[in-house]
Amino acid sequence: MALKAVHVSDVPNLDQVPENALFASRFSKGIDVGKASLVKTPKFMVIGHRGNGMNLLQSTDPRLKALKENSILSFNAAAKFAVDYVEFDVQVTKDDCPIIFHDNFILSQDNGTIYEKRVTELSLSEFLSYGPQRESGLPGKALYRKMKNGRIVQWNVETDDYLCTLQEAFEKVDPSIGFNIELKFDDHIVYGHEHLTRDLQAILKVVSKFANGRSIIFSSFQPDAAIIVRQLQNTYPVYFLTDGGLCTFYDVRRNSLEEAMKLCLENGLQGIVSEVAALFRNPSAVSKIKESNLSLLTYGRFNNVTEAVYIQHLMGVDGVIVDLVQEITKAVTEQINHSEGDAKGMLGEGPMEVHSKPKFSEMDLKFLLSLISKLIQE
């Protein structure tokens, strides 16, 4: 199989996605997902991370600074390719409006001094005053971003767009594209049940009013948020996001794939979205998750490498969240979903050639997994 690898220096190091989910045009309005059950998907799914890909401002790859992440522009750009969903992060302002923004803090400058404000402590009007404005000629506050190393840079992209609300996304994004709504909460805050419920009810109010049949998946790294949103509604599937033990958190439910499975099974969640590196370290976890009747998606920098995506397909993963939307959707369409479609056969004269996916033993997969690190170094 001739799949072109992306060099590791060009692959973004995803922080928290996220990220979680499946089924465009498969989970629609009015569907009771019931108790945790394996969601059967007719094809391998591709989900655009924060739309057409996250912004990695320090990268030398122009694709990661082409369009403003988590924007209407980026969502509709992703919709031009064979994505099933776009993933984005939803937080709630202090006046109870669900908005789309990834970072916990928003940074700007005043008289040359950089300052930051917590997004959830802003009113909607304050939040929308940052970045490009809807009305031409009106200046917006300059946006900056803090890198993982603490460095602060101006948030410059080739094509910018204004910040948006969840309602606007429903109203302005191609209705054929599903939404993977990540319920975003700060990892460093212990939230009470009342606070989580209030925010989630504000989000569900918008979803209920504006979904209009769009396919939706909820996901969250916050265990209690995932549980509560599952209790508050029975229409859309809920996935638990986890890094699978790559980091250690105060909440043990976040510290392993085993804990993620336990959380899902005990609370009726439909699936897991794992950091792909955790699965590559522990391939046997995939079969355990699927045998537990849970769906499985992944996020992470390896999902921008076509070979790594194909191997996940062979392992039994249901879909991937990616930044390089155009490249990965092309590879998946040509190498995975197309061949599976061929395998179903065609009516016609003469002998029928059936293309089925290769059969790999556990030993074969282990060997392929050992090659991944070598492939992305070339």
**Apex 47 CA angle, 266 and 284, nearest 5:** 50
* Residue 242 near residue 205 (C-beta atoms within 8 A): no
So what's the pLDDT on residue 43? 84
Residue appearing with tokens 């989630």: 200
Give the whole-angstrom CA distance, residue 30 versus residue 28.
Answer: 7
Take residue 193 and report the two structure tokens written for it: 């049940």
Alpha-helical segments (H) within the chain: 72-78, 124-128, 166-172, 193-210, 223-232, 257-267, 276-281, 284-291, 306-315, 325-332, 338-343, 362-375
Nearest 10 degrees: Cα torsion 143, 147, 152, 156 = -40
Residue 303 in contact with residue 278, Cβ under 8 Å? no
Neighbours of 171 (CB within 10 A): 13
Residue 125: is it exposed, middle or buried by C-beta count within 10 angstroms (0-12/13-18/19+)? exposed
**Contact criterion met (CB below 8 Å) for 51 and 67:** yes
Cβ within 8 Å of residue 134, ≥6 positions away? 162
CA gap 292, 263 in Å, rounded:
12
User: DSSP code of 354?
Assistant: -
The label of the residue with tokens 């603490």 reads 150
Distance CA 151, CA 129 (A): 24
What per-residue confidence (pLDDT) applies to 136? 81
C-alpha 134/C-alpha 338 separation (Å) is: 41
282 vs 304: CA distance, rounded Å: 20
Helix (H) or strand (E) holding 321: strand 319-322
Question: Could you give the C-alpha distances from 74 to 22, 52, 301, 363, in angstroms and in order?
Answer: 19, 5, 19, 40
Q: What is the pLDDT of residues 304-320, one digit of tens each?
A: 999 899 999 999 999 99
* Token digits of residue 303: 């999902």
Q: CA-CA distance, 261 to 256, in Å (whole number)?
A: 9
Residues of the chain with pLDDT under 70: 1-42, 337-378
Pairwise CA distance, residues 127 & 141, whole Å: 10
Phi, psi of 146 (to 5 degrees): -95, 125
Axis-axis angle for helices 362-375, 306-315 (nearest 10)? 160
SS3 state of residue 189? coil
Residue 163 CA to chain centroid, in angstroms? 19
